[in-house]
Chains A and B, each alone.
Chain A
Amino acid sequence: MIRKFALILALVLALPAVVHAVEPDEVLSDPALEARAREVGKGLRCVVCQNQSIDDSNSELARDMRILVRERIKAGDSNQDVMDYMVDRYGDFVLLDPPFKAETLVLWIGPGVIAVLGMFGLVMMFRRRTTTRGAQEVVSGVRAEPLSDAERRRLDELLKD
């Protein structure tokens, strides 16, 4: 019983990994070539939906691109040849993993630079908070001073209610 349940669970867990938009009639009969086509397809952006790979997209253009990938692989192209073919027509944009070069420098470096700046800012803030002034002062912007007699009387009155 438990073994059966475990088996079903394992199958269910394995399911999402095999869900693709790739339709049965597209699949190549040679499993090795099909595996390469999947490898290529995973790295190519669907230019219609823009945030999916062509393997995940149901758009018609993505389907035609998948078929083209398979045709070229069958014709003897290497994975890189197929990628180059697409980049030649759609630019680096078609790659889900854009190459590191001058035009993409900001894309790659930008987030890191922002993170480092943010971290630097945080460190500065905490250092100032712990060394130069009291915590209260940083939060309120007012130096904490003992209550005056009038203030104490008012406070007592308020607390009585």
Chain B
Amino acid sequence: MKRTVFLMLCMVLAFSSGVLAAEKNPTETLSETLGAYVSVGPYAKIEPQRVVVKKDCWWYAWTEDDPGMDFGFYDGKAGYGKAADSNCFILETNTGVTVTFKGESLTHTEYGDKMLTRYSAWLSRGVDDLPEPYLFVNIPKQIQPYKEIGFFGEAGKAPRKDSGGFIEQILFEVLELLGLGNRWPTEYWNEEHVAISNHVNQKGIYAFQVFGFASTDEISSQRAGTYEGKIIVTVSK
């Protein structure tokens, strides 16, 4: 039995030697190349991130908080507009991708009434590890708006700001004075809009910011209560 196995092994070695292409005197150097093949599929990860300043003992520090966009409290006055920040999505990808932003309006959790809601997507300047704030000027790149992608949201009237909050009003007025255009959405939309970014052309880590604009319409246009909406970011090849 052992003998049979040994003979078969010898035969296999003898036949297999024929497939080795290099064949020289073994005292000289032999070399041959052979291929190694692998394929990495397109892969990406996207996650929301919220960067905030928090007091850390005696100093303030940039830190992460639970993601979300909260417009806070409206007293119900007609035409009261506010702007809010999400503040970003972090995308890591190994290939160029298309990023699509879709937004659902703030909707009454019980009755379905809608507030006037729009969103605006921006490519951020980059992605930083969170630094310590020095006089609050070293702001992480992921929350620095860099290139505007566009407005998105459901069809209908644009949010109003005829009786909006002071800070938001000033902010957008300042931006307009700086020549950055009127950042408050104004157009009526007959259909839903999505914002599409084609800025991601190669592998890397990218950040996108989403700002929100929401207002009451008339007093009775939307009931008192809690409203929820959603921002959905889709990454596709």
- Are A and B interaction partners? no
B residues near A (Cβ < 8 Å) are none
A residues near B (Cβ < 8 Å) are none
